[in-house]
């Protein structure tokens, strides 16, 4: 009995099999192309980030290297000193009252950061939690003050402090922060607007007043924003040079930026040309800010990333 004849072409020669195989081969490069593009974009982004990191870190590395060189090699552009010396770090303490300047800066920075954080938080709380006529217009006016250049208010502010007899002291460097900052008010208000109302309503039922709600609930819930304001103002007060130049004349009241300006005038061009002392003092005064960033970078990133999602 003869075997039944098979109908159609063999599997290797069937048109539908050949067509499906061709389609799979045609789709494979299409699936690989997006993955290749993503890898290329990721590699380019990595190269760009590394280049930017080197660009920003190089001045600090150069400064540290220059502080470890003798006077004749400060500007030789070598990152590894030919002759390593730590004598500059001993000389700078003898040539300038650096410890006193650091203490003055620490006091001014602490007072400036604490006062502006607390005052800005109270103003932001008022704009976020209270409903009153003209609130929007008043908040717009507060934000509009950020558009004023500092030079516009420089002379009137000086006349006020001069009339109070405080020119020549460190008070003008921080006391203005008692009246809040428009930028910090905006930042903290965004956080307060994003807080749920249930904890505050429960606290009010339990008899908590407005101040208790602000101090015990509002501020703890906005800790990332509060710490961010502290960090930003600490950096601003630590590196502020303009106000010390205006209000300070006595060396005993100098802050670090004003002291560095005095060192540049003395040891820089037209002076004794001892740049190794200037760069060494710069390293000593920069290290606290680097340490502060590493300690607070978690709050810094969290505060920045969360601000845009509030409100």
pLDDT tens-digit profile of 237-249? 999 999 999 999 8
Q: Which of 9-18, 247-256, 257-266 has the lowest mean pLDDT?
A: 9-18
pLDDT at 24: 56
- Rounded to two decimals, the pTM is 0.79
pLDDT tens-digit profile of 36-73? 888 888 999 999 999 998 898 998 899 999 999 888 88
pLDDT at 1: 46
pLDDT at 155: 93
Average the pLDDT over 22-35 and give the result. 59
Across the chain, mean pLDDT equals 85
pLDDT at 9: 47
pLDDT tens-digit profile of 75-121? 888 888 888 888 989 989 988 899 999 999 999 999 999 999 999 99
Length of the chain: 311
């Amino acid at each position: 009995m003869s075997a039944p004849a098979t109908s159609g072409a063999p599997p290797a020669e069937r048109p539908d099999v050949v067509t499906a195989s061709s389609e799979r081969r045609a789709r494979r490069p299409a699936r690989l192309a997006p993955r290749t593009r993503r890898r290329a974009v990721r590699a380019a982004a990595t190269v760009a980030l590394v280049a930017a990191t080197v660009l920003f870190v190089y001045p600090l590395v150069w400064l540290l290297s220059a502080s470890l060189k003798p006077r004749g090699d400060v500007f030789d552009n070598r990152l590894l000193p030919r002759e390593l010396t730590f004598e500059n770090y001993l000389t700078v303490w003898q040539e300038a009252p650096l410890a006193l300047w650091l203490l003055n800066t620490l006091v001014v920075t602490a007072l400036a950061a604490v006062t502006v954080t607390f005052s800005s938080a109270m103003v932001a709380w008022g704009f976020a939690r209270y409903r009153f006529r003209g609130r929007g217009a008043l908040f717009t006016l507060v934000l509009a003050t950020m558009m004023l250049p500092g030079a516009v208010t420089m002379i009137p502010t000086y006349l006020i402090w001069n009339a109070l007899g405080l020119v020549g002291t460190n008070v003008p460097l921080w006391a203005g922060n008692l009246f809040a900052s428009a930028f910090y008010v905006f930042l903290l208000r965004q956080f307060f607007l994003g807080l749920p109302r249930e904890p505050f309503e429960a606290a009010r039922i339990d008899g908590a007043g407005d101040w208790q709600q602000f101090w015990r609930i509002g501020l703890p819930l906005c800790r990332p924003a509060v710490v961010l304001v502290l960090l930003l103002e600490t950096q601003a007060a630590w590196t502020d040079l303009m106000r010390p130049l205006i209000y300070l004349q006595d060396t005993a009241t100098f802050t670090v930026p004003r002291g560095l300006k005095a060192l540049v005038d003395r040891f820089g061009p037209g002076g004794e040309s001892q740049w190794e002392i200037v760069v060494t003092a710069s390293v000593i005064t920069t290290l606290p800010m680097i340490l502060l960033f590493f300690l607070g970078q978690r709050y810094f990133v969290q505060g920045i990333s969360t601000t845009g999602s509030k409100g």
